[in-house]
Structure formats: structure tokens, C-alpha cells
Structure 1
Amino acid sequence: MVNTRIDERLIHGQVAGIWSTSLDTQRIIVANDEAASDPLQKSSLRMAAPTSMRLSVLPVAKAAENICAGKYGKQRLFLLFKNPTDVLKFLDAGGPIETVNVGNMSYKEGAREVTKSIQVLEAEEAVFESITSKGVNITAQLVPNDPAIDFMKKLRS
């Protein structure tokens, strides 16, 4: 696993071009129940993904199951989540994560700004606390050239 990221836009320029290339990714795994069950969204994600990379769009529990079973062998995996709730579901399903990078969460009514690109609701703050309580390190980093910052320290300040 070369990167685990929360980005509500899923596959877009930063993920497809900058992150995947700099990490020499071989497969992008989008773990999101909604995307996995929506043929139109799956098709859009396939078009957005680099042609040189494999793509899996899976329900969260299936992504955890496949990774735990070693289904992807020695492939360099980039695991992508739409929101922190999906990360927690993945962990609860036995999925292995040491660090998760928060990239982009846009403004929603009632959200507060943690960084310029990350706005969180109170309910999401509790989810991030749960993720941390499972021993996962959470960073914020928009692109690889930016320094990774301690997301929880920023969230709690």
C-alpha cells in the first residue's frame, strides 16, 4: 500500500497525475459503497484514471477483504476513500491502514475549516477521533511536494 487518502473528488488531476505518478502506483482502489453500486460513477472513474494503471471500484468491505486476502499480490496500491466514515468502515472490516492522508473535503453547511482544502462537520470530527483511536496516523497533504502535517493536531486546535 503506497498511499491511503481521503478525497471526496476521488480520481481527479491531483490523484491521477501527481500522486499516482510520484508513488509509482500500479492499482488505484476506490473503496466506496455508493461508487461501487453506480455504473455511471464507475464509468466516470475509469475515464479519469490513468490508462497505465489498474482500477478497482469496490464496496468498502470488499476492498478490505481483497487486500487482507492478498488478492493484489505485490502491486503498489493507492487506496482512495471519499470520506472518513468509509475509512472507519474499512478498519472495522479488518482492513490494514497505518496512515491516512486527508486531501480534500469541501465545505458543507455547518462545517469548519481545518485547512484550506479540508472542511469537517462535527460528526466527522468524531469519526476522525475513532480512526485515531485504532492506531492510525492521520496527515493532511494536498500534493506530494507539500509537507505532511499532523491532521489531528490541526483538528483539535
Structure 2
Amino acid sequence: MVNTRIDERLIHGQVAGIWSTSLDTQRIIVANDEAASDPLQKSSLRMAAPTSMRLSVLPIAEAAENICAGKYGKQRLFLLFKNPADVLRFIEAGGPIDTVNVGNMSYKEGAREVTKSIQVLENEESIFEAIASKGINVTAQLVPNDPAIDFMKKMKSKN
């Protein structure tokens, strides 16, 4: 696993162009129940993904199961989630994560800014706390050239 990222836009320029190529990714796995069950969204994701990369759009539990079972062999995997709740569900389904990078979470009513590209709701803060409490390093980094910051520390400093 070369990267685990939360990005509500899923596959877009930063993910497809910058992250995937700089990490020499071979397969992008989008773990999101809604995307996995929506043929239109799956089709859009396939169009957005680089043609040189394999793409799997899977329900969260199936993504965890496939990765744990070694289904992708030695492929370099980029795991992509839409929100922190999906990450927590992946971990609870036995999915292996050491670090999760928070990329883009846009403003929603009632959200507060943690960084320019990350706005979190109160309930998402507690989900991030739950993720971190499982020993997972939570970082924020927009693009690979930016330094990774300690997202939990940054989130707490804004209270």
C-alpha cells in the first residue's frame, strides 16, 4: 500500500496525475459503498483514472477483504476513501492501514476549517479521534511536494 487518502472528490487531477505517478501506483482502489453500487459513478471514475493504472471501485468491506487476502499480490496500491467514516469502517472490517492522508474535505454547513482544503464537521472530528485511537497516523498533505502535517494536532489546535 503506497498511500491511503481521504478525498471527497475521489479521482481527480491531484490523485490521478500527481499522487499516482509520484508514488508509482499500479492500482487505485476506491473504497466507497455508494460509488461501488452506482454504475454512473463507477464509469466516471474509470474515465478519470489514468489509463496506465488498474482501478477497483469496491464496497468498503470487500476492499478490506481483498487486501487482507492478498488479492492484488505485489501491486502498488493507492487506497482512496470519500470520508473519514469510510476509513473507520474499513479498519473495523480488518483493513490494514498505518497512515491515512487527509486531502480534500470541502465546506459543509456547520463545518470548520482545519486547513484551506479541509473542513470538518463535529461528528467527523470524533471519527478522526476514533481512527487515531487505533494507532493510525493521520496526516494532511495536499500534494506530495507539500510537507505532511500532523492532522490530529492541527485539528485540536483549531478548537
What SS does structure 1 have at the residue aligned with 2:109?
A: coil
Name the counterpart of 2:13: 13
* Residues 129-152 of structure 1: CA deviation (Å, up to 9, x unaligned): 000011100000000000000000
Within 5 A, what are the aligned runs for 1:8-157? 8-157=8-157
Code of the aligned partner of 1:152? M
Structure 2 unaligned runs (5+)? Answer: none
**Aligned equivalents of 1:135 and 1:83: distance in 2?**
18
Q: Distance in 2 between matches of 1:61 and 1:137?
A: 21
Deviations 1:63-116 (A, max 9, x none): 000000000000000000000000000000000000000000000000000000
- Unmatched 5+ stretches in structure 1: none
How many matched pairs? Answer: 157
After TM superposition, where is structure 1 displaced by more than 2 Å over at least 4 residues in a row? none
> Identity, % of aligned pairs?
90
SS at match of 2:29: strand
TM-score (norm 1): 1.00
- RMSD, matched Cα: 0.2
Question: CA offset at residue 121 of structure 1?
Answer: 0.1
